[in-house]
Amino acid sequence: MRRELVCTEAGTPPRLTVRSVELPHPGTGHVLVRAQATTVNPIDAKRAAGYGRRLLGLKGAARFPLALGNDVAGVVEAIGAGVTRFTRGQRVFGLLGTGRAGSAHASHVVVPQDLLLAAPHDADPTALAVLPYSFTTMWLALRSAGITPSSAKGARVLIHGASGGLGRLAMQVLRPWGSEITAICGSGQRQASLDLGAQVAVERGPGCIESLRSDFDVVLNFANWDDDARLASCLGTSAMGQATTVHPLLANFDRLGWIRGAWASRRDYRHVRSIVASRAPKASYVWTIFKTDRGALEALAEGVESGRLALPIGIAVPFDNAIAAFDHVSAGQPGRAVLLP
């Protein structure tokens, strides 16, 4: 049987239960993974409370009882027809898309082979499970803001939310690429940001964004939508772009319905877009939305293999105590939250 963690109804705190269902069979090109670890990401904690019910509902990803989770690390239990990359017993980690692909908060997860990576020898599944979703989102943000290994060299990059998961991973990628990083971080996190590769780190607080230089090539907002317009004012005239993962798209539709939600989102996007364009005519401005991406996974594999990528673990608990992991994330406690199925 497969044990899966589900939210029975939308609520705060989450209404969680563990149920047993038939063990799934991997179809063509798919792999059945016996999960050793999976992650509660910020999006899971929000979705458990009903966040994204309209837009994610279009993908079949908002109906309760709702199974959550995108990350998995474990051992290959069975392979479907046509699977060439993996064999039974192999240790792997990887990613599920959001929607009809299923959920990763389960003892067994069926994953397309393209979204799986071989785990490095002796790597800890807990350490691997916290990476795929966050890394992929961060990678998509970098790309949409125009950063590539060649354009990153010498680029002045401002990261808001540098002490969080996406921020830390961005620094771990950008530092070896030669970017000049300025980090806006939480209280008491300044030294950690410098240690991770920021040249300049400031703790957030009133006036902190205004006090920064205004010639950044790239701005990454992983922290707070309310700061997006002020961050755009930090771009220089030859900037490459700004990407934000904390846009109000899903919340607007939840709050205002289809028509007013679409109107509000267009207004919000255009407001910041106009500031970006006035600062830097050629700069892109993108609201990053997670999706699976093979290129991101290949970059993740390389980063893990070289030992460059890691996130601190804040809590690791079995399914029976999953509520503690959700609480950890909702309270913004430091470190990632891991479930051990």
Ligand X SMILES: NC(=O)c1ccc[n+]([C@@H]2O[C@H](COP(=O)([O-])OP(=O)(O)OC[C@H]3O[C@@H](n4cnc5c(N)ncnc54)[C@H](OP(=O)(O)O)[C@@H]3O)[C@@H](O)[C@H]2O)c1
Give residues in contact with ligand X (CB under 6 A).
41-43, 134, 137, 161, 163-167, 186, 189, 204, 222-224, 245-246, 288-290, 332
- Least Å distance between CB 336 and ligand X? 7
Two structure tokens written together for 26: 């991997």
**Cβ distance to ligand X smaller for residue 61 or 79:** 61
Q: Within a 10 A sphere around the Cβ of 169, how many other Cβ atoms? A: 27
The two beta strands, 284-287 and 241-244, are parallel
- Least Å distance between CB 59 and ligand X? 12
**Cβ distance to ligand X smaller for residue 83 or 209:** 209
**Cβ distance to ligand X smaller for residue 72 or 83:** 72
- Least Å distance between CB 46 and ligand X? 7
- Least Å distance between CB 34 and ligand X? 26
- Least Å distance between CB 201 and ligand X? 12
Question: DSSP per residue over 63-91, as a string?
Answer: PSSEE---EEEEEEEEE-TT--S--TT-E
- Least Å distance between CB 148 and ligand X? 21
**Cβ distance to ligand X smaller for residue 275 or 337:** 337
Contact 197, 175 (CB under 8 A): yes
CA atoms within 13 A on the CB side of 305: 9
**Cβ distance to ligand X smaller for residue 76 or 174:** 174
Residue with tokens 């105590």: 321
**Cβ distance to ligand X smaller for residue 137 or 252:** 137
Strands (E), the chain: 2-7, 16-21, 30-40, 66-67, 71-79, 91-95, 108-112, 116-118, 156-160, 180-185, 200-203, 218-221, 241-244, 284-287, 313-318, 336-340
Q: Given strand 16-21, what is the order of strands in its sheet?
A: 16-21, 2-7, 66-67
- Least Å distance between CB 209 and ligand X? 10
- Of 302, 209, 258, 224, nearest to 54 by C-alpha is 258
CA distance 242 to 158: 9
- Least Å distance between CB 47 and ligand X? 10
Phi, psi of 235 (to 5 degrees): -75, 145
**Cβ distance to ligand X smaller for residue 81 or 331:** 331
**Cβ distance to ligand X smaller for residue 32 or 198:** 198
CA dihedral of residues 156, 161, 166, 167 (deg, nearest 10): 40
